[in-house]
Homo-oligomer: A and B are copies of this chain.
């Protein structure tokens, strides 16, 4: 949405900015993928070896609670995180390779809003994940 970094947004929300939080914020800002906590920890550790896993957990949880990052789950048991302040998109999970493809589909957004209202709700958020296999990678089935 804006060009603010995560650090900017932390400060705007009045969070106390420690060295560790700055590093984690930077890691998340730089990420173009959807790292899990272990991965964020690994990247942060390259900058500051002393950072602890518990701090990473506490920090991403905090960032999620104040809406600075989004927590994603792709069903593999680990939570993944991404900067919340990007154009809204959903995810397609490549079942063959595990790759995550992002896409935006305004039609879906509008439809979801409509559905929620029809059910008597105000939509506060949503999650949509598609799971698929590449079209050019489907094995022939019964016919030779």
Interface residues of A (CB under 8 A from B): 71, 73, 75, 92, 94-95, 101, 103, 105, 107-108, 111-112, 115-117, 119-136, 138
Contacts and interface: CB of A to CB of B under 8 A. Distances in A.
Given A105-B111, A107-B111, A122 B132 contact: yes
B130 A123 contact: yes
Contact of A124 (B112, B127, B131, B136): B131
Q: Which of A121, A131, A135: most chain B Cβ within 10 A?
A: A121
A92 B119 contact: yes
A136 B117 CA distance: 11
Contacts of A92: 115-116, 119, 121
Number of copies of this kind of chain in the complex: 2
Contacts of A105: 111, 115
A76 to B, nearest CB: 10
Given A122-B135, A134-B120, A135-B122, A115 B129 contact: no
